[in-house]
Amino acid sequence: MGKLTDIEIRGWIKAGERFEGRADGDGLYLRFRESDSGPTWRFRYRFDGKQRVMNLGSYAVLSLANARKTAKEMAARVALGYDVAGEKQERKREAIAKIEDEKNAWTVAKLADEYFERTILGRWKHPNIVRSRIENDIKPAIGKMKAEDVRPRDIDAMIQTVVKRGAPTVANDVLRWIKRIFDFGIKRQVVEINPASAFNPADAGGKEEARERWLTREEIIRLFQAMRDKAGSFTIENLYAVRLLLLLAVRKEELIAAPWKEFDLDGAVWYLPEHRTKTGAAIDIPLPAVAVETLRELQRLAGGSAYVFPARKMQSRMIPHIDLNTLNAAISKHIKPQLKDVPNFTIHDFRRTARTHLAALGVDPHIAERCLNHKLKGVEGIYNRHDYFEERKAALQKWADLLGQCERGGADIIELRPAKAG
């Protein structure tokens, strides 16, 4: 039989003709068994006195011309003393072994998850603060890297990315947690060195000074206007979150992770338990009418969820509420570009904003401090256990009235010069 041709091969395929092997010469032949989905090229040779066969590929992928070229190359290697089929099997074993190694490798993401589950989850009062740093800053930067491959330059690039976006305090947190994660990896014998060990806060966000930033009435007016202007991209839930954070002066994680069971909307009280406060002190928060209205609307939008701000999409960690960084990201992306001439502010500055305006409204300092769930200082803090609920209710209503005017545009209010928050 002479050399094969493409015309006869296509004719066999069209006729459905099956065969064990039809030779082209020089060890190359075509096989098309009943069980085969299509014809395949095979290369037959002898090595060490034994007959060997090697699969070169399907006719659909490897043309007749290329099959002949490949067979010629294989024959040349055999002549030099190489077992080409054995080499192919070895490459396949190495590839499989590499895939298995990659599958079982300790990536930074895997190490961070292990650290979180074994040392944070179930032990920390606010574990989602740590989870937020892992998911939003550490994993995107170095999460896919093998833990053993991370070098100091990778750590530096990660923390500088956070610094450049104007979040020095977060950069310090990222450095703090990545150090602990790699220390945990050393204990688990995942890594031998900690690539973050040489870094200190001076390399990240620097020394954290006490912030003094608060928003004036004019800035609050502009903030609400910007949120209204960006209503198509800045969701109504985000606007409600900002309103409640300013109004109630609570910490972001206290509101974002709040379940509905803590609220008595008919009684206009939020029963914030001790295990969800930074100070470890429970507090009953009086809710002004606008807060109740906002919460009722959020309850409608929550669609039966147990949380005030339920997760908006499937999350890898299945956190039932939105991520703690969701509101920060939305404000940075959609609102701050509309307020370029307004000095930078953070969500935590909303508490200082409320405290400052409460002072300007004539609220007694000890009442204003309790509105922020701050413990009273000195002897008064030791002996005075009165919680000033009614006084706080009146104070927050004053603040709600002013904030409502700001939200409506503020044309009917006069900017005062608030006393600095205590």
Q: How far is it, in rounded angstroms, from Cα 355 to Cα 211?
A: 13
pLDDT at 419: 42
Amino acid at 117: E
pLDDT at 26: 87
Share of the chain above pLDDT 90, in %: 63
Q: How far is it, in rounded angstroms, from Cα 272 to Cα 358?
A: 21
Quick one: DSSP state of residue 56? Answer: E
Residues 6+ apart with CB under 8 A from 223: 215, 242, 335, 339
pLDDT at 99: 66
pLDDT at 422: 39
Q: What is the mean pLDDT of the chain?
A: 87
pLDDT digits (tens, 9 = 90+) for 95-124: 777 766 666 789 999 999 999 999 988 777
- Which residue, among 230, 260, 150, 247, has the nearest Cα to 195 in the 3D structure? 150
pLDDT digits (tens, 9 = 90+) for 179-195: 999 999 999 899 999 99
| 356 half-sphere exposure, CB direction, 13 A CA radius | 19
Mean pLDDT of 261-275: 94
C-beta separation of 58 from 3 below 8 A: no
Phi, psi of 56 (to 5 degrees): -95, -25
- Looking at the chain, the number of H-run helices and the number of E-run strands are 17, 7
Q: How far is it, in rounded angstroms, from Cα 302 to Cα 325?
A: 19
- Assign 383 a pLDDT band (cuts: 50, 70, 90): very low
**Domains of the chain: residue spans and CATH:** 6-103 (3.30.160.390), 108-203 (1.10.150.130), 217-407 (1.10.443.10)
- Which residue, among 113, 112, 46, has the nearest Cα to 82 in the 3D structure? 46
Higher pLDDT, 40 or 210: 40
Single pTM value for the model: 0.58
- Can you read off the two tokens belonging to residue 197? 């060990």
Mean pLDDT of 338-352: 91
Q: How far is it, in rounded angstroms, from Cα 202 to Cα 407?
A: 40
Higher pLDDT, 385 or 292: 292
- Which residue, among 106, 258, 108, 234, has the nearest Cα to 179 in the 3D structure? 108
C-beta separation of 422 from 374 below 8 A: no
* Residue 379 predicted with pLDDT over 50: no
* Residue 270 predicted with pLDDT over 70: yes
Beta bridge partners of 146: 107
pLDDT at 420: 44
pLDDT at 63: 93
What DSSP assignment string belongs to 3-54? Answer: ---HHHHHHHHHHT--EEEEEEETTEEEEE-TT-SS-EEEEEEEETTEEEEE
C-beta separation of 28 from 67 below 8 A: yes
Amino acid at 363: V
pLDDT at 382: 44
- Assign 216 a pLDDT band (cuts: 50, 70, 90): very high
Q: How far is it, in rounded angstroms, from Cα 248 to Cα 234?
A: 21
**Residue in the block written with tokens 């098309």:** 32
